[in-house]
Amino acid sequence: MGIPNLSIKSMSFGSVTPGFIGIGEVADLGMEIEGIGDIPVDGTLTLEIRNVGDGDRVSSWQHKFYELIPGATLTYHTDWDSGGILAGSYQLKGWVDHDGGTTPVETVEFETKREMHWDWDDLEDVYRHGEKIVGTANLRHPNGSVVEPADTAGISVLRPNLETFVPALNLNTMDPYYSTQFIVTALEPSGIHTLTSTASKTGYKTATNIRWFVVTENPFTMNATPEVAIADGITPVHVESEAIREGTSTITDGTLITINPLVGSVATEDASSAL
């Protein structure tokens, strides 16, 4: 005769970022138990993942074991594919039903990685040689609230000749937290420049932003009547305006132009294709 008993020594939730998981990431789940009674014990260990918000069980696993002797340990591991889960907070719960009863439930808290995105102010679409490019930025949550500074952040500019320039990205002590400034020198090639911003922060998905600006000596402004917004990048737009010019030449009303929304280029006989 004797007393069958055991305890949970540890539980683990293995993800790339401790305490967080990216949706679609595969996590390693583990439980280690130990026999603490007087005689061998049989039982079933259970792991389950629940959504804290609604209490729903997302996934569960069970593992039967037999004759775990006093002082011996048993470790169980399984993979969990988080693809398809909703954003939010979750719990990994574990317990063991055995000959001597049921252990207390152990819990590991975790949550999905949060979203953040770059929000730049003050940057223009077109610059001339000799002008200073000045921009300020914040990282923001989807609801617009400001994210505290990232663990790492940086920017780079890809020139039309495929050379890369890395301007300084300054970290400020208050909102807006990021700023940059640099001169468009006379040696800067004309054409479309690609500004890429990246940021990484614990508990968040990596934020990457790509935007374009043009360096040229022949900028123009345009007012459309009615106002238009191109969604597909293909549909031609009929523009009527009082002030569309290339240099000193007026582009007449009724001219058919096509706007590429990604780079702001204009394809027409009356305007430079570089714009």
Average confidence (pLDDT) over 217-224: 56
Q: Is 106 helix (H, G, I), strand (E, B) or coil?
A: strand
Q: Residue 43, class by beta-carbon neighbours within 10 Å (0-12 exposed, 13-18 middle, 19+ buried)?
A: buried
Cα distance between residue 143 and residue 42, in whole Å? 51
Q: Is 203 helix (H, G, I), strand (E, B) or coil?
A: coil
Above pLDDT 90, what percent of the chain? 73
pLDDT at 219: 52
pLDDT band at 210 (very low <50, low <70, confident <90, very high): very high
pLDDT at 186: 86
So what's the architecture of 6-112 in CATH?
A: Sandwich (2.60)
Q: Residues spanned by CATH 2.60.40.2550 within the chain?
A: 6-112
Please report, for residues 35, 46, 88, 241, the alpha-carbon distance to residue 15 in angstroms, rounded to integers and kept in the order given. Answer: 28, 20, 16, 56
Is the pLDDT reported for residue 241 higher than 60? no
CA-based torsion, 52, 53, 58, 64: positive or negative: positive
Pick the CATH number of 117-215 from 2.60.40.1930, 3.40.50.300, 3.10.20.600, 3.40.50.2300: 2.60.40.1930
Smallest CA-to-CA distance from 266 within 214, 194, 200, 195 is with: 214
Is the pLDDT reported for residue 9 higher than 60? yes
Mean pLDDT of the chain: 85
Q: Residue 24, class by beta-carbon neighbours within 10 Å (0-12 exposed, 13-18 middle, 19+ buried)?
A: exposed
Q: Which range among 51-55, 145-149, 240-244 shows the weakest confidence by mean pLDDT?
A: 240-244
Is the pLDDT reported for residue 131 higher than 50? yes
In this structure, are strands 106-112 and 89-98 parallel, antiparallel, or unpaired?
antiparallel
pLDDT at 122: 87
Average confidence (pLDDT) over 221-229: 51
pLDDT band at 58 (very low <50, low <70, confident <90, very high): very high
pLDDT at 115: 94
pTM: 0.65
Smallest CA-to-CA distance from 44 within 127, 2, 85, 101 is with: 101
Above pLDDT 70, what percent of the chain? 79
pLDDT band at 250 (very low <50, low <70, confident <90, very high): low
Average confidence (pLDDT) over 57-71: 97
Q: Residues spanned by CATH 2.60.40.1930 within the chain?
A: 117-215
- Dihedral (C-alpha) 176, 177, 183, 188: value to the nearest 10 degrees? -110
More confident residue, 241 or 168: 168
pLDDT band at 217 (very low <50, low <70, confident <90, very high): confident
Token code pair at residue 72 = 């011996």
Partners of 6 in the beta sheet? 35
